[in-house]
Each structure stands twice: as C-alpha cells, then as structure tokens.
C-alpha cells in the first residue's frame, strides 16, 4: 500500500502469484513458499517492526523500491535471561502495474544484520 500512496495511486497493492523472493544467499522462493513461511511463524507479542522507504524510482508501468525493515523483539534464554533482539534487512522490491493494480513481482534481500542486546552478532550481504 505504501508504494501506491507514494505514487498517488491508492488502488490495492497485491502480491503477484508469480513473485520471486531472493534471499541473502541467492536462493529463490515462490509466492506459495513465502506465504507458507509467513503462515508458519508463531505470534510474538514482543515483536515490533517498522519499514522505512529509502528510495522509490517509478518507471513506465513499474516501480523499484529500496527499503529497510527493522524488527525488534525480546527473547528469553534457557536460563531465564531476557535478550533484546533486532533484525535489520535492506531489500529491493519491484512492483508492476497490471490494469489498475500494483503487483509485487520481485523482492531481493541485499543485507541482513542481527543484533543481540545491541551488539552485532551476524551480518550477511548479497555477493
């Protein structure tokens, strides 16, 4: 929906059934696999997330969006100690306009960082 709002087109933004998601390792995933993965996630009452649009580049019938996804939560270790966890992902999404509907066609994760109690514990970048 944010893409449509930025482009002043408030028609529904949908996920195309032919969407391809490319993760940080270069592995691709279909729309069906993405939906199955999201549906398998357990609810996390401590989870908070925010998506920030870095850039939006419209073209004829398409738009490329660079964005930052920032998710935080609190996890409890086996010993009962609570830890603040933060996951930051930078990605590039491409959506195409079919009739009056924006369809997400491709999403690529460019960088993924994980922090535990404010300290970087893992970072991967697209090769």
Identify which has the larger pLDDT, 114 or 41.
Answer: 114
Q: Mention every residue, 6+ apart, whose C-beta is less than 8 A from residue 68.
A: 51, 52, 54, 88, 89, 90
61-108 tens-digit pLDDT: 999 999 999 999 999 999 999 999 999 999 999 999 988 888 889 999
86 phi and psi, to 5 degrees?
Answer: -135, 135
SS3 39: helix
Task: Give me the chain's average pLDDT, please.
Answer: 86
SS3 47: coil
Q: Which of 37, 47, 43 is nearest to 107 (CA)?
A: 37
Q: How far is CA 60 from CA 26, 92, 95, in A?
A: 27, 18, 11
> Predicted confidence band at 33 (pLDDT cuts at 50, 70, 90)?
confident
CATH topology for 2-125 is: Nuclear Transport Factor 2; Chain: A, (3.10.450)
- For the chain, what percent of residues have pLDDT higher than 70? 87
Give the pLDDT confidence score for residue 17 in this predicted structure: 59
**Which residue's entry shows tokens 């270069």?**
26
44-58 tens-digit pLDDT: 999 999 999 999 999
Pairing of strands 82-98, 62-76: antiparallel
Q: In whole angstroms, give the CA distance from residue 94 to residue 41.
A: 25
**Which residue's entry shows tokens 């491709």?**
106
Give the pLDDT confidence score for residue 16 in this predicted structure: 56
């Amino acid at each position: 929906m944010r893409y449509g709002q930025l482009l002043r087109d408030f028609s529904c933004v949908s996920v195309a059934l032919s969407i391809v998601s490319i993760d940080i390792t270069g592995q691709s995933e279909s729309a069906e696999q993405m939906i199955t993965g999201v549906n398998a996630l357990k609810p996390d009452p401590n989870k908070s997330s925010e998506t920030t649009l870095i850039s939006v580049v419209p073209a004829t019938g398409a738009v490329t969006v660079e964005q930052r996804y920032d998710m935080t939560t609190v996890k409890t270790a086996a010993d009962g100690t609570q830890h603040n966890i933060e996951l930051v992902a930078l990605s590039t999404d491409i959506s195409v306009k079919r009739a009056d509907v924006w369809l997400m066609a491709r999403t690529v994760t460019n960088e993924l960082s994980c922090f535990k109690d404010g300290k970087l514990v893992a970072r991967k970048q697209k090769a």
